[in-house]
A and B are shown apart, each in its own frame.
Chain A
Amino acid sequence: MRRDQSAVAVIPANAGISSNIAPSVRQIPAFAGMTKVLMAVLMFCFATPAMAASGEAVNPWVAVAYLVSGVLFILALRGLSSPESSRRGNRFGMIGMLIAVITTLVTHDIASLPEIGVAIAIGGAIGFVIARRIPMTDMPQLVAAFHSLVGMAAVLVGIAAYLNPGAFDIVDAAGEILVVSRVELGLGVAIGAITFSGSVIAFLKLNGNMSGAPIMLPGRHVINLGVLAGIIGLTAYFAVLPTVETAMVFWTIVALAFVIGFLLIIPIGGADMPVVVSMLNSYSGWAAAAMGFTLGNTAMIITGALVGSSGAILSYIMCKAMNRSFISVIAGGFGADSGPSEGAEKIDRPWKRGSAEDAAYMMKQAESVIIVPGYGMAVAQAQHALREMGDMLKEEGVSVKYAIHPVAGRMPGHMNVLLAEANVPYDEVFELEDINSEFAQADVAFVIGANDVVNPAAKTDKGSPIYGMPVFDVDKAKTIFFIKRSMGGVGYAGVDNEVFYMDQTMMLLSDAKKMCEDIVKSL
C-alpha cells in the first residue's frame, strides 16, 4: 500500500513536465534542492567553529551530518524503485557523499589539504573519464573493477588506522589500540582484501584477459576453509595480543585475505559471474561497514549495511533464477565439464535452418513477437540492430515485447541496460514471471544470444544440470527463431537444447548483429 502511494506521488511530478522540454529545465528543481541542503550543512558546520578544535565525536552536529548523509544514501537506493524517480535518487546519493566528505574535512585538523585536493582531483578525473567512455556492454567489468577499488581503499584505510591509531581515536589511555577496534580492523582489512583480489580476478575473467573456465585446484575446499579459519583465528589472536607484538599477525591477516580472495574466485566459471559480481558488491559493503565500526561513523555503517544487503539480495535473486544454492556457486566449478556423453547424443538430429528473409516474412505476418535476448546479444553488440528490427515490426503493426531472464548477461539487469541504451522503452521490457504466460499466445519467439534460459530440459529432465531453473516457455510459441552462431556449441551449462529440434523452430545461424541487420533489410 505504501509503495503504491509513493509511486503515485512520483509519477505526477514528472508527468507534469511534458517530454519536449529540454532536460536541463527539468533538472532545475533538483539543483535548487541540492544547493539549499548544501548551504544548510555548510552553515551549521561553520557556525560551530569549536568543533574543529575539539576534534570529532564530541560535537553532536557532526554525528547529525553523517546521519543525514546515511539517510540520503537510503533515499538514493529508494529512488531506484522506478525509472522515473531513479535520477533524483542518484542526486540524493551525490549530495550524501558531498556532505560526508565536507563534514570530515571541516571537523579535522588538516595538515595536508593541497595533497588531498590533488588526490580527489586525480581520482575524480580518472573516474569521470572512465564513466563517460565505457561501452555499456563492458558494464560488468567496470563494476568489478570499481569493487576492487573499494576493497583496496578499505585495506589502505585499515592499515593507516593500524599505523596511526591516534588519528582515528581508537586508542586507550596507554596508547594501545582498543580490543574492539582491533577485531573491527582485522575483519575490515580482511574483507577489503578479499574484495580486492576477488574483484580483480572477476574483472580479468569478465574482460577476457583470463579464461572464463573454472580453474580447479586439487583440495581447494580444504585450502579455502583452512585459510578462512586462519584469518579468523589470527584476528582473534591479533585482538588479545599487546599492541607491540601485533605487526606480524596483522600483516599475515592482510596477506592471507588477499590470497583467499584469489582462491575463492578462480574456480568459478564465467557463467556464474552474475552471482560473483553481486557477492563482491556485498563484500565491498561489509568492508565499508567494518571500517565504519572502527571510526564510529554512522554514514559508513549505514552505507555498508545497505550495500552489503543489496549485494546479498542480488546474489540470492541470481541463485534462485538458476535454481542453485549459494554454496554450490561459491564452491565453483560449474560449466567445467561440458560432458562428452551429452556430445555423443546430440549428433544426427534433424533441425531446420531459416534465413533472414524467412524470419522477416514470418514476423511481418505475426501479431505478436517476443524477443528473448541473452549474453550472445551483448557479445555481438546486436542491441541497436535488434531495436531497429523491433521498430520496423512495430510499424507493421506487430506487437513487440522483450523478455528478460534474471540471469541473462553477466550481471543483474545487464540486458535491461543494453536495451535501454538502444532506446528500447522500458515499458516494452518484461521480467520472466510477468511475460512467461504470454508465449502460449505469441506468434513468434525470437531468441537472440540466449540458450539455457529457454531450455525446456529445466522443466522436464530431472538429470539435467539446469533442472529446476525457471525458464521461458518459448516452446509454446507458434514459431521460434533461434539466432546462434553455429549448431556446434551449447550454452554454458553444456546442455543440449530440445528447442533446436522442434518442428516450429528455425535456426538462424549467424552472428547476432549481422542477422538482425539482414532481417531489417528484408523487412
Chain B
Amino acid sequence: MGMTKEQIAQRIARELRDGYYVNLGIGIPTLVANYIPSGMSVVLQSENGLLGMGPFPFEGEEDADLINAGKQTITTVPGSVFFDSAMSFGMIRAGKVDLTVLGAMEVSQDGDIANWKIPGKMVKGMGGAMDLVASARNIIVAMMHTNPKGESKLLPACQLPLTGIRCVKRIVSDLAVLDVYDGVFHLLERAPGVSVDYIKERTAGVLVVQGEIPEIVF
C-alpha cells in the first residue's frame, strides 16, 4: 500500500518549475533528479560547492576532485560553477535556492523537523541539514508516513532532537501529499489506492481534510 520511493520522487518532481535552483538531500530526494521533466531547466545545487550537478560519470571517467555532498563521484553540466562552502551556504541562507528537498525521521504539525540524531545511537552529525532547513524558502520533505513499527512520523510535536523549527511547508510521504501551516497538517492528495481514513489513522498530529481529496495519478 502506498507509493514506492521512486513514486514519491516522481510526485515531488511535479513541484519543479523552469529555472528553479534546487538542493536535493540524500536518499529519496536524490531520486527526484531522475524525474525532471524534459525541456525544463532545473539547476541542482550540491552544498559542497557546485551549481549544475550532472549525472554519475561513465566508468573510468570518475574524478576524485568532483563529488557531491554525499561524497559520490558526479559530473558537471554546461553552465556549471564551483565555489567554496561559505558561498554555498551563503546562497542557501540568502534564499537564492528555490527549493530544498530532504528526508525526515519526524515532522511536527508546526513544521518542525527532526532528521539528524537518535538518542542512544551513534550521532554522525547534522552536516548541512540545519542550515538548509533554517534558510530555504521552500522545503519539501520526502518521508515514510510511519516507522517500521507502523507508528506515525507526522506528530503533534517531534520527539527526537530537532533539526529546525517551523520550516517544513510540504510533505510527500508514501501515503499522501500534505501541507503544513497554521499549526496543523492539511491533506492535499492521496497515494493511489489509499483512503482518507487510512491516512488519518496513521497521522498522529492534527489532520485537516477539506472536501474531496484527489488520488495521485501516475
> Is this pair of chains taken from one and the same complex?
no
Residues of B within 8 A of A (CB): none
